[in-house]
Chains A and B, each alone.
Chain A
Amino acid sequence: MSALMARVRAIPSWQLTLFVALLALGFLVAAQLATEAPRVRYTTQERTPLVETAGELLAQQDALKVAVLDLRAQIQEAEGAGTGSAAVVAELNDQLQEARIAAGLIALTGTGIVLQLEDSLEPAAPDANEGDYLVGSLDLRTVIEELWTAGAEAIAINGERITPTSAIIDIGPSVLVNSAYLAPPYQVTALGPPDLYARLSASPGWVDFIIARAQKYGIRVQFAEPESVDIPAFVGTVTLRYARPEATSSPAPLSDPEG
């Protein structure tokens, strides 16, 4: 034993350093190869610039959202300070505030619940579709419909306000809401009456959803009833390009065929 120690001590220190460095190098090379399956190696070349572009676009989106919110606040302040007939300005501002709340352009706080949906942790059955074990756009649309039916008055998913124009679509294992990229876990915040959760859990549609998704595939659904919930404002364009106000409101839709 002492002979072995003596031999180790006799090895120059630079050789020991080199040995440790080469060991780490070998480990890293192996780790690099292990994390890249052949298919991934094949697609990395085109995937990397796309990931970078998407990241840059998300950062731009965040900055643009801040700019929109800031401008809206400035406009609201300027409109409130408008000169002219004080009564007319006050009346118009009241109407504007009400319209903005109706449009989802004002952040709200009030009673409500938060639901969290997460992908299943259960292993997929051999003949099953792996997508069934993930939270998808259809799950989120179902939850939103059930919340509206239960009496929710405003809803947001991971900070994206649901508006009259909100579409929810799948993109791989994630979703797009208002064309914003959202990844699980999904927190669905709903503002509504204090008994919103009681109403939701009594709904046959909600029970069906829990049986079909949570019990069958292990989709994880949790809920919280905080003292109050915050719903963010919708940050997007409210300027419509094709729709314009009709001069006189018609009681029912009437579409004129082309030509």
Chain B
Amino acid sequence: MHRRRNQLTIAAVAFVLGLLVIVQLRAQAGGAAFAGLSSQELTVLVANLNARNDQLRREVATLERELATLVQNEQRGDASIDELRADLRRVRLYARLDAAVGPGVTITIRGPIDGSGVEALVNELRNAGAEALAIEAIRLVPGVVVSGAPADVSVDGLLLGDPLVIHAIGAPDKLTGSLTRSGGIIAQLAATQPDVLVEVLPIDTVRVPATDRDLVPENGRPRL
């Protein structure tokens, strides 16, 4: 009887011990995955991940439809010329190889802004979902950099005047809201570059030109 009670005591202690080991390991693993993120930052992360996953789901649905049509055409012995052309239009538009039109905003900047200030505005526009961007007549594509000291800003080597205008296609309310929110990029610029005035105007029809850059790399080839 006495021996049985001892065994039960040891079993109970071992159980609590095991439980604590698991709790400790899980707490450490969970912390390591997103170490340093506050609850508020985790909420922002979850919102961003949800948005990206929704985009990916839409892309999967689009690609599945496209593939189904191609397969049907092939089975019927029909040409898929129309599908090829539609796919080409879609990819060229995304690649900035064609001029684009759509709703959006224009941002007029007056005063001695510097290159990093313009890049910060462009980054915020992209974060808010801008689909096509141009500074004056220069379409923004990978490789185009805005640089320079205040009042000496150039894009792709072209010196910009004052005022300078950014054209952005996207949801006008979302783009405007993101730029003008309290503590947002325009508020930050007002604090760091007080002589700069930024005006955002929602527009029904924004047009941006095609890029004149050759976007096919000279030093790379498709990886098979």
Chain A residues with a Cβ under 8 A of chain B: 14, 17-18, 21-22, 24-25, 28-29, 31-32, 35-36, 43, 46-48, 50-55, 57-58, 60-61, 64-65, 67-68, 71-72, 74-75, 78-79, 81-85, 88-89, 92-93, 95-112, 137, 141-142, 145, 148-149, 152-155, 162-169, 171-174, 176, 178-181, 183, 191-194, 205, 230-231, 235-246, 248-258
Contact = CB atoms under 8 A, between A and B. Distances in A.
A84 B79 contact: yes
Given A245-B98, A245-B100, A32 B23 contact: yes
Contacts of A43: 38-39
Interface centre among B91, B134, B136 (most CB of A within 10 A): B91
Nearest to B101: A246
Interface string B2-38: 0100110110011011001101100110100111111
A116 to B, nearest CB: 19
Nearest to A155: B142
A178 B52 contact: yes
A29 B43 CA distance: 30
A168 B104 CA distance: 21
30 contacts: A51-B34, A51-B42, A54-B46, A60-B53, A83-B73, A96-B91, A101-B216, A101-B217, A102-B97, A103-B95, A110-B221, A145-B145, A152-B143, A154-B220, A162-B142, A164-B133, A164-B142, A166-B126, A171-B37, A172-B37, A172-B38, A180-B52, A192-B219, A231-B220, A236-B56, A242-B103, A242-B171, A244-B93, A253-B136, A253-B207
A244 B102 contact: yes
Interface of B: 3, 6-7, 9-10, 13-14, 16-17, 20-21, 23-24, 27-28, 30, 33-39, 41-46, 48-53, 55-60, 62-64, 66-67, 70-71, 73-74, 77-81, 83-85, 87-104, 106, 116, 119, 123-124, 126-127, 130-134, 136-137, 140-145, 147, 165, 167, 169-171, 201-210, 215-223
